Amino acid sequence: IAITGVSRGLGRAMVAEFIQRGHQVSGCCRDAAAAVDLKTLYGRDHHFQAVDVRDLLAVRDWRQQTITHIGVPNLLLNNAAVINENAPLWKVPASEFAEVININICGVYHVLTEFIPLMIEAGEGVIANFSSTWGRSTSPQVAPYCATKFAIEGLTKALASELPPGLCAVPFNPGVIDTEMLRRCFGDQASAYSSPESWAASAVPKLLAITSKDNGKSLSAAD
């Protein structure tokens, strides 16, 4: 399993759940200290690396390290994302808008272009690009984030139509979970939702159950 954005939240919870179920994991995140912590926690059977997905060369190095440590992944999860500070669109600073776009869309593109050729050569593999409830509906104050997650839906479905038999790409909506990202939007109201750990216990089996028959479908953890 290869996962982006593993320093906290859903990414870190998925790492724990996949490893508990006996899978090898290669994960990346921008937080170098978190990558070291994960290496210490899970040992040499897995690989964790500090990577900024906006940097194509850094993603390329992670791809090579992933192949070295665990081989070509059977499941590639583009989970890394950021959200803007709550604000109407015209008050979002240009630099913040660009960061959301560059991580949530360009970062996914970088990971896909590095891993897909290897998965095509292997003749199999599942790609789940994390969408959002805000990739299929909208709310005020988070227009940049909504834009990126709507883009993930379209990008992934177009990609699905290009993949050869044996491969699969799906946009995956994890639902609403009590993460640091959600707390930035909802404040303490986020505590009404499931923790990342309880979410992962039910979502990981659904991710593992995705097959080439699901290619191009918009899937949700709640399905």
* Residue numbers annotated as active site: 145
| Angle (deg, nearest 10), helices 107-122 and 56-70 | 40
Q: Is 177 exposed, middle or buried (0-12, 13-18, 19+ CB in 10 A)?
A: buried
Distance CA 68, CA 114 (A): 14
Non-local CB neighbours of 93 within 8 Å, separated by 6+ positions: none
Question: Which residues, 6+ apart, have CB-to-CB distance to 99 below 8 Å?
Answer: 82
According to DSSP, the residues that pair with 128 across neighbouring strands are 77, 170
